[in-house]
């Protein structure tokens, strides 16, 4: 399809007048029936790459996405722009609701599915009834053991593709090293997949790493910086509880700022409210976990702070990518205190079952002929959901469990468990290695920009503003675009009038009053 027609369609469905780099190339390759792997930096509009084809292909486009909450946000956003023939299916829906959706499945152009749902035969049977024109794998790095968010469920996607009679595939990711890219192609059994890789370095972001003595100093730095620079900011944490605690601390010490927290345990309406308020400049600062970000398209985030450092560089690159989408000078500030080192270790431990526990878990499992409910199972085995997901996949792969039934053979069972134990050891080692890489970068004496990107791409653009705290940067010289102060002195009558009759953003009128 020629680019002119594509643009017309883009305008008709999404009211967007032009493509961003990479989008039209990926879309045209996909419409031509090719398998495509798109690696585009965060915030470059990955989802449009399949949303637009979905309107053109006839039949149905399936999108596999790892996070249910984000799937639901996307469906909401699509419906908001008038794209109504879209639905999301996940295992948390009640049976009546699910049945209702499944019975009307053919009226949708775009169906979001969680990967674990594709393990259900009944779902596959429903999908086999339809013409799947495009099979999209969002966050495709989850398929790779070497990606920063490995999801065992994703490894089964190759089987799903076979069952669905080999539809064209579009695999998308924001961060995929060459190693991960190869893994994606191999796992999906699509060696000929057409790659569209775009560099992820950001020339308007300045990197700053600051070593501190502890929590108190982190909080003091944040307060003093935000008082000095009135800019929209995101602060990343690795713990949900901390987002709330620090948000409370900051509110108390910066009455001039409006501060909120955001994490995956909040209900969906609250999450959307916070996102939208941030978009509308009603909130200045958000303390969040990595759950925040996808689907948010705020142009003027000037500062991304890491209160806790991420588990690996790939996650870090993805998170800082939310700063400065408008191309203006923005900062990524990482605050590091030596005591932070303990946190990621415990997170890693929580992601995998302990190899030493496997014999015990194996004995326990054998006492059941059939797997009980997940809840009971996790309780009895003392595992969390992530750990069980990993183990379940591995046990199925080794043929120890089939259709929720134990297949027991003493000698083989023990050997297989040993093998899984070894695998866990390797995974742990790999994760610790990635963590060390991150820590090394934090301790780096040379250019942070060069060291950050070197594992991902061959070169990077020269920075437009200051480079990094090891080269030339100091907050003394930073002069970002700032927002004006909010003055909350309105009476309810004025506020009510604003809500009903304001012609521009309420936040903006609030500020100028």
Chain contacts with other proteins (rule: CB under 8 A): 15, 76-77, 80-82, 95-96, 251, 260, 269-270, 272-274, 276-277, 280, 282, 488, 491-493, 495-507
Minimum Å distance from CB 88 to other proteins? 13
How far does Cα 115 stand from its chain's mean position?
15
Of 35 and 73, which has the nearer Cβ to other proteins? 73
Cα torsion angle, 375, 377, 382, 386, sign: negative
Q: Cα torsion for 190, 196, 197, 203, to the nearest 10°?
A: -160
**Token pair belonging to 196:** 């569209």
Minimum Å distance from CB 288 to other proteins? 14
Of 219 and 318, which has the nearer Cβ to other proteins? 219
Minimum Å distance from CB 306 to other proteins? 24
Contacts of 460 (CB under 8 A, 6+ apart): 199, 201, 203, 449, 450, 453
Distance (Å, whole) CA 343 – CA 341: 6
**Token pair belonging to 92:** 């948390």
Of 145 and 251, which has the nearer Cβ to other proteins? 251
CB 139 within 8 A of CB 153: no
Minimum Å distance from CB 336 to other proteins? 30
Distance (Å, whole) CA 443 – CA 11: 47
Minimum Å distance from CB 94 to other proteins? 9
Beta bridge mates, 113: 64, 89
CA nearest to 370, candidates 404, 403, 337, 398: 404
Minimum Å distance from CB 37 to other proteins? 31
Minimum Å distance from CB 362 to other proteins? 31
Q: Beta 401-402 vs 405-406: how paired, if at all? A: antiparallel
Residues in the chain: 513
Of 204 and 509, which has the nearer Cβ to other proteins? 509
Minimum Å distance from CB 510 to other proteins? 9
Sequence-distant contacts of 339-347: CB under 8 A, at least 24 apart: 339/214, 340/308, 340/309, 341/439, 343/238, 343/239, 343/308, 344/238, 344/309, 344/311, 344/435, 345/432, 345/435, 347/238, 347/311
Minimum Å distance from CB 273 to other proteins? 5
Of 83 and 388, which has the nearer Cβ to other proteins? 83
Of 76 and 427, which has the nearer Cβ to other proteins? 76
Of 199 and 295, which has the nearer Cβ to other proteins? 295
Of 267 and 458, which has the nearer Cβ to other proteins? 267
Place of tokens 């390797």: 426
Of 229 and 237, which has the nearer Cβ to other proteins? 237
Minimum Å distance from CB 84 to other proteins? 12
Classify residue 499 by burial, with Cβ atoms within 10 Å: 0-12, 13-18, 19+: exposed
Of 458 and 493, which has the nearer Cβ to other proteins? 493
Of 207 and 261, which has the nearer Cβ to other proteins? 261
How far does Cα 467 stand from its chain's mean position?
26
Minimum Å distance from CB 219 to other proteins? 18
The single-letter DSSP state of residue 468 is B
How far does Cα 169 stand from its chain's mean position?
20
Q: What is the CA radius of gyration of the chain?
A: 24
Contacts of 68 (CB under 8 A, 6+ apart): 88, 90, 92, 114
Minimum Å distance from CB 387 to other proteins? 27
Of 283 and 467, which has the nearer Cβ to other proteins? 283
Contacts of 209 (CB under 8 A, 6+ apart): 333, 334, 336, 442, 444, 448, 468, 469, 470
């Amino acid at each position: 399809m020629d680019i002119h027609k594509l643009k017309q369609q883009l305008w008709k469905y999404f009211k967007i007048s032009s493509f961003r780099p990479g989008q039209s190339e990926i879309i045209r390759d996909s419409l031509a029936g090719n398998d495509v792997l798109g690696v585009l930096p965060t915030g470059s509009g990955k989802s449009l790459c399949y949303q637009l084809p979905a309107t053109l292909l006839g039949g149905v486009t399936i999108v596999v996405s790892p996070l249910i909450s984000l799937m639901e946000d996307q469906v909401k956003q699509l419906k908001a722009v008038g794209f109504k023939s879209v639905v999301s299916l996940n295992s948390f829906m009640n049976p009546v609701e699910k049945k209702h959706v499944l019975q009307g499945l053919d009226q949708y152009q775009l169906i979001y599915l969680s990967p674990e749902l594709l393990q259900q035969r009944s779902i596959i049977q429903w999908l086999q009834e339809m013409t799947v024109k495009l099979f999209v794998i969002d966050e495709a790095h989850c398929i790779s053991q070497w990606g920063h968010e490995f999801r065992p469920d994703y490894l089964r996607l190759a089987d799903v593709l076979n069952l669905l009679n080999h539809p064209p595939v579009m695999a998308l990711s924001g961060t995929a090293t060459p190693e991960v890219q190869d893994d994606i192609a191999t796992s999906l059994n699509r060696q000929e997949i057409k790659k569209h890789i775009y560099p992820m370095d950001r020339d308007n972001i300045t990197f700053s790493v600051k070593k501190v003595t502890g929590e108190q100093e982190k909080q003091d730095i944040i307060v003093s910086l935000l008082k000095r620079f009135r800019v929209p900011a995101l602060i990343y944490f690795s713990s949900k509880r901390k987002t709330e605690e620090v948000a409370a601390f900051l509110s108390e010490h910066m009455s001039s700022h409006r501060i909120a927290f955001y994490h995956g345990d909040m209900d969906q309406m609250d999450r959307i409210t916070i996102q939208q308020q941030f978009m509308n400049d009603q909130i200045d600062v958000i303390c969040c976990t990595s759950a925040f970000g996808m689907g948010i398209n705020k142009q003027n985030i000037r500062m991304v702070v890491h209160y806790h450092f991420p588990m690996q560089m790939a996650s870090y690159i993805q998170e800082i990518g939310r700063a400065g989408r408008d191309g203006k000078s923005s900062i990524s500030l990482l605050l590091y205190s030596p005591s932070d080192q303990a946190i990621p270790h415990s997170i890693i431990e929580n992601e995998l079952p302990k190899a030493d526990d496997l014999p015990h878990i194996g004995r326990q499992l054998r006492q059941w002929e059939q797997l009980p409910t997940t809840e009971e199972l996790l309780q009895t085995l003392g595992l969390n959901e992530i750990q069980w997901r990993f183990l379940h996949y591995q046990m199925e792969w080794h043929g120890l469990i089939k259709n929720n039934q134990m297949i027991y053979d003493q000698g083989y069972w023990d050997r297989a468990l040993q093998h899984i134990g070894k695998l866990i050891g390797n995974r742990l080692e790999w994760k610790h290695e990635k963590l060390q890489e991150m820590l090394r970068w934090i301790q780096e004496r040379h250019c942070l920009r060069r060291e950050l990107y070197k594992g991902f791409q061959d070169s990077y653009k020269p920075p437009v503003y200051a480079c990094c705290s090891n080269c030339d940067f100091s907050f003394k010289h930073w002069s970002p675009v700032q927002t004006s102060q909010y003055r909350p002195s309105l009476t309810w009558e004025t506020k009510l009038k604003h809500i009903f009759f304001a012609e521009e953003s309420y936040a903006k009128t609030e500020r100028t009053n």
